Every structure is written in structure tokens, then in C-alpha cells.
Structure 1
Amino acid sequence: MGTVSLHDPWVYALRLPHDPRAARVARTTVRAALSSHGRHEILDAVELLTSELVTNAYRHTNGPASLRLTALADGRLRVGVWDSHPRIPAPFGEPPWDRVPLTPADAEKGRGLHLVQRYADAWGGLALADSPLDRGAGKLLWFEVGG
């Protein structure tokens, strides 16, 4: 008899064009993937945080983005968003990660990274040189939830 893991690993990847609808496409993809794998308990947080990172990729770059959802064997979900801009913003970059400037409560923009700090269990960023993955330079921002 084989050992059965509580959470089987899986990966979904999606390339997103530089398009204002990319965040909606990413949210729909996250909702479909997590629902089909029965991960309803983390769905709202992952959908929100993914939307924030994809929106930032659209607003702060002129190129495409990529989304990758990875279910890890220990039950965590890792979400990575690649874009073509090399700057890694706080809280993803170098310490102090907790010094993201406060955004006024009535501001229309600027709350996304605070949401990552609040709802993700872990997060990070990686600057990428030209890569063999045909993505070119840029950065990868990621977060993890669940477990």
C-alpha cells in the first residue's frame, strides 16, 4: 500500500499580455484552479493578492507578465508573478520589509503591498537577469498562503 499525501503538488502557469484585463483573467484562473482542487479556504486571499500583483505588473511595466500557481506538498500555495521591470518593491525586496509607506485610507491606489503583508504567510522577490526561460530580465514577486 502506498503513502497518500494530503495535498498533491500541482502547477498552473499563465502568460498575460500587457492588457488592462490581465488582472481579471488572473482572478478567474485562480478561482477556477483553487475551486477545482478544493482549496476554498484560501481562495479569497489568493484571488485578492494575485490581482494586486498582476495589476502592479500592468501599471508599472510596458510588457507582458506571467502567473504561476504552485501547490506544495505541505499544503501551502505559492503564487509567483513575473514582470519585465527589475525593481523589487518593499516588502518583497531588501530589509526592512515592514517599512512600506502608509497609504491614506481614502487613497485609490497603493494598498496592494500592505494587503500582501497582512494576508500572506510569506513573500519575497527575485531580480532576474536574462533567463533561459524566454522571459528576459525583470523580477519575480511571490507569496505563500495556507499550510
Structure 2
Amino acid sequence: MGTVSPSDTWAYALRLPHDPRAARVARMTVRAALDGHGRHELMDDVELLTSELVTNAYRHTRGPCSLRLTALSDGRLRVGVWDSHPHIPAPFAEPPGGHTAPAPTGADGGRGLHLMREYAHSWGAWSLGDGLPGRGAGKLLWFEVGRP
């Protein structure tokens, strides 16, 4: 009888309702997936950045969002968050080498790009268009961490 070794590539997808608890569920999912695949070294960074994207999806849309974790063959992990609003926020419209001013002290938001710069190796976004009324196609924001 042969031994089966787990694949280095895998993917998980999770649809999250428009609910203030969605970011917590996303963090728990990320933690379970990375723990199950022995990727502990990525856990804190991925958990933080995923929470940021899912929280923004909740705060700036009225619909559900989706989370997708994909382990790539070269050791990188790609995390994507889809939501129903087609607008790409300024931080994601800017390439990883760009520069923006820090968020003002005491501001409720504006730190997402700085977190991406600190913890992600790359990031980006795709607008998927307006879609149908009430069922917008939305956008996908993504980031990658891990061995390049």
C-alpha cells in the first residue's frame, strides 16, 4: 500500500453574508486552513489582511462577499475577497511600489494600504463591472504572501 502525500496546491472558498461577524468567520477559516496545511508562518499576516478586506466589504457594500484562499505551487498563498460593489478603492488601484500619505491619527479607516505594504508581497484588484441592478458583478481584491 502506497502513501499519499498531500498536494502543495489547494484552494478553499467561502461565501460570507453581509453580517458584522463575517470578518471573524473569515479569520477562523483562514486559521483552520493554514493550520491544517502546516502554513503556520503565514497565519498572523494572512489573518490580519483577510480581516481588513472582509471588514471593508461589510462596511462599504450591502451584499455578501466571498473569500478564496489558494496555495500556489511555488509556495505563495493568494487570498481574494469578492464583493458586490464595482469601485476599486484607491489603495488597490495603486501598484505595490507607490506611495500614499498615512491615515490621520484617530481616523476610523485608511490604513489598509499600509497594512498591505507591510505584510503582503503583492496585491491588486479587478473590477468586474456594475452587473444587473441589485446583483452587481462587483470587484475582487487580492493579495499574496509567502515564498516568491
The TM-score range, normalised by the shorter chain, is: 0.7 to 0.9
Letter in 1 for 2:103: T
Report the Cα offset of residue 109 of structure 1.
2.5
The reply on whether 1:77 has 2:66 as its aligned counterpart is no
Q: Residues 87, 97 of structure 1: CA spacing in aligned structure 2 closer, same or farther, 3 A cutoff?
A: farther
The 3 A distance-change label for structure 1 pair 146 and 51 is: same
Query: What's the CA shift for 1:90?
Result: 2.5
**Structure 2 residue aligned with 1:12:** 12
C-alpha spacing 1:30/1:96, structure 2 compared with 1 (3 Å): closer
Q: Which aligned pairs between 1:33-52 and structure 2 lie closer than 5 A?
A: 33-52=33-52
Q: Which runs of 5+ in 1 are unaligned?
A: none
Cα distance change, pair 144–34 in 1 and its aligned pair in 2 (3 A):
same
TM value normalised by structure 2: 0.85
The residue identity in structure 2 corresponding to 1:109 is: G
Task: Give TM-score scaled by structure 1 length.
Answer: 0.86
Q: 1:127 to 1:86 in 2, by over 3 A?
A: same
Runs of 4+ in 1 over 2 A off after TM superposition: 94-101, 104-110
Secondary structure in 2 matching 1:51: helix
Summarize the alignment of residues 55-94 of structure 1 with structure 2, pairs less than 5 Å apart: 55-94=55-94
The amino acid of 1:24's aligned partner reads R
Between the aligned residues of both structures, percent identity stands at 74
Distance 1:40 1:137, change over 3 A: same
**CA RMSD, Structure 1 to Structure 2 (Å):** 2.3
Asked if 1:139 corresponds to 2:131, the answer is no
Does structure 1 retain, via aligned residues, the 8 Å contact 2:85–2:130?
A: no
> For residues 38 and 96 of structure 1, do their structure 2 counterparts lie closer, same or farther at Cα, with a shift above 3 Å needed?
closer
Distance in 1, Cα, partners of 2:107 & 2:129: 34
Counterpart in the other structure of 1:28: 28
